[in-house]
A and B are shown apart, each in its own frame.
Chain A
Amino acid sequence: MEKKGVAVVAVGGNSLIKDEKRKDIGNQIQAANESMHHIADMIQQGWDVVVTHGNGPQVGYLLRRVELARHELHDVPLDILGADTQGAIGYMFQQALHNEFLHRGLTKKAVCVVTQTIVDRSDPAFQNPTKPIGSFMAEEMAKERREKEGWSVVEDAGRGWRRVVPSPLPLRIVEADPIRDLIRAGYVVIAVGGGGIPVLEGEQGKLVGVEAVIDKDFGSALLANMIQADLFMISTAVEKVALNFNKPNQKWLDRITLAEAKKYQAEGHFAKGSMGPKISAIIRFLEKGGKQAIITNPENISRALKGETGTWIIP
C-alpha cells in the first residue's frame, strides 16, 4: 500500500444523524457505519487518518435528559457532556472501522482518544456568549437560571428563551502527542470529538473544564497543525464549495488558493452558520503551515482524493 500521508478528517453531523426522523441509536449506528465505509476507502488508498467529529445534536439529547431528570438527579456540566459524547460516538466509529477493516482484510486498528482542548479565559467569546444550547425555556425560568446559576440567556425571536454559552477559539490539544504516537504506530485515531472538551489552563498548568463549546472544525484544524498533518479534510453535506451559493449565478469551486479563500470569505460568499466557519478553519490551518485542505461530502471522499471533485484549498 502506497503511503499517502497523514490526514485529519472532520466528519459532519450528517455522518451520524441523517435527519430528524432517524436519530435513535440504531440509526446513528447505521449512519456511522456508512460514514466509516468512506473513511475506510481512503485508508485503503494509503492514508493515515485521524477522524474527528461534531457532537451538537448528541449534546442536545443529553441536556434534554438532564433537564427532565433534574428533580431527581444532579446537573451535568458541558465539559462532562462533551466527554460523554466522545465516548459514545468514538465507540460507534471505532466499531464501524473495525468491521470495515475486517471485511477488507486490512490489519488496521482504530482507537478513540478522549481529547481535551485548551481555550483562553481572556478570549472575547467569554464576554459575549453566542452559542445557544439546550431547550427553549419560559422567560421566568430563564431568569431564574440566570440568577441562581449564572447562565447567560437570550430571547430567540419569539420562540422562547435559551441558554447561550461562549464558543472560544481552541489554543492547544492536550493529547496531541499521544495521538501522534498512535498515528505513527499505524493506528486510525478518533479524537477531538465536538472540537475537544473545553478546558482552561490555570496555575501550574492545571486544567479545569469550562462551560463552553468549541467549533469542531477549528479544533480539528488545530490538531492537524499540531501533528503536522499532510491534509485537512472537512466532510460535510455538499460535494463542493460554491460562490453565490443557491443563487442563479452559483459557481462551484474546484481549487482555490488561501488568498482567494480569504477574499471570497470577506466578500460574504460563505454562510455564517455553515460554510463560513469551515473556510475559516481551513484558513487558520493553511496560515499556520498546513499544506492542503479539501471540502467534500462523504460519498465523494475517494474521488476527491484522486482529484476528481471536491474543493481543494492550497496555500
Chain B
Amino acid sequence: MRVVVSIDGDLIVPQDPNQGIPGQRTAINRIVAGLGELLRSEHELVITYGNSPQIGYVLLRAEIASHVVHSVPLDVCGSDTQGATGYLLQQALHNWMQQFLVNKEVVSLVTQVLVDMSDPASARPTRGIGPFFDRDKAQLYANTRNWDFVLIPGRGYRRAVPSLKPRHIMEVRSIQNLLAAGTIVICAGGGGVPVCQSERDDLVGIEAVIDKAYTAALLATEIGAQVIIFVSTWDKIEQTLGTHLGDGSRRVLSSELGESIKRARDLDEGLYNKFIASQQFLQRGGQLVLIAPPGRFGADPQCSSGIHIVNG
C-alpha cells in the first residue's frame, strides 16, 4: 500500500520561536516516533509537510537584513525550507530506523509543483505572508517591489500573494522510482515550490503559495496512493467541529462532509482545504483519508484514531 503522510507546519515549529532549531528537532522526533509502526510496515511511504512558520522566519530575516543582503523571492524561500526541513525530517527518520533496526533508505527531494493559472479567482492575492508593516512601508514596497498588501486589523499591513491550486508534481516520476526501490521519500514541502510555464514552456518560479493539503491530494493521486494521513493540530480541529474525539475515531462518508466543510470554511482554512482535498482524492481513486492528531499510528491506518473519510 502507498501512503502519503502530510504533517502540519505548526506541528514542526514550536509556538515559541525562542526554542529555535532544537525545538524543531524535538517536535520532529516526536512526530517521527508516532509514525513508528508505519515506518516498520511494508507500506511505501511519502512524507510531506507544511512550511508556513519557516517561511515566516525566512521572510522576516530577509526583511530585517534587506539594507545589506539581497531579498529572496517566494519560490526560492520555499526551496530553502525544503532543504532545511527535509534535512531535519530525513535525519530524524534515519535515526529512528537505526534505533529500531528498520533497514530502509530515506531521502528528501526538492519538489517543484506546476500551478493552475487558469482560474482567475485563485490568482487574486489574498494570502498574507511574512512580517507586518506600517502604512508607509507598505506603500513603499507596493511602489518599489510591486507587492500587494492586506490590512489585518490591529496588526498592520501584510504582503499578500495568490494561493494557487497545484496541477502537476514535476518530480513525480523520481518519487515513484524511489518508492519502488523501497525508499521513504520526503517531498513537496510547503505544498511544493510554485512554478508555472512561460510562453516557451520553460518552468519559472512564481511569487505564490500552494496549500499543502491540495498538493498532498494531487501527489497521492499521481503516485497512485491509497491513503492520505493528515497529521494535524488537533485542538483546533476539535474546536472547529465542536466535537471532542480524544483518542477515538469517527468514520465519515465523503458525501456527508457538508456540515463540517461549512464550519471549517468559516473557522479554519487549513481544515477546510483538507476536507476539499480529501474529496478530490477519494473521487480520483483514493480509498481513505485519515485526519489525525500526531499520536501513535498503527501499521494499519484503518485502526488509527482520528477522522476517517471514505468514499460514499
A residues contacting B by CB (< 8 A) are 23-25, 61, 64-66, 68-69, 72-77, 79-80, 83-88, 90-92, 94-95, 98-99, 102, 109, 111-114, 116, 174-175, 177-178, 181-182, 185, 187, 190, 197, 199, 204-209
Contact = CB atoms under 8 A, between A and B. Distances in A.
A87 B110 contact: yes
16 contacts: A61-B69, A66-B61, A68-B64, A73-B61, A79-B87, A83-B88, A91-B112, A91-B193, A95-B195, A114-B82, A114-B83, A114-B90, A114-B109, A175-B105, A205-B98, A209-B91
Interface stretch (B13-21, B148-156, B245-253, B271-279): B13-21
Interface stretch (B41-49, B71-79, B283-291): B71-79
Contact of B170 (A66, A68, A98, A185): A98
B interface SS class: helix
The 9 closest A-B pairs by CB, nearest first: A87-B83, A74-B20, A91-B79, A83-B87, A24-B70, A112-B110, A114-B108, A205-B98, A65-B65
B108 A76 contact: no
A64 B69 contact: yes
A13 to B, nearest CB: 16
Contact of B70 (A23, A74, A77, A92): A23
Contacts of B170: 98
Contact of A91 (B21, B71, B95, B110): B110
Interface in B168-194: 170-171, 173-174, 177-178, 181, 183, 193
B65 A178 contact: no
A286 to B, nearest CB: 28
Contact of A95 (B17, B87, B203): B203
Contacts of A65: 61-62, 64-65, 69
A95 B205 contact: yes
A61 B70 contact: yes
Nearest to B187: A111
Contacts of A66: 61
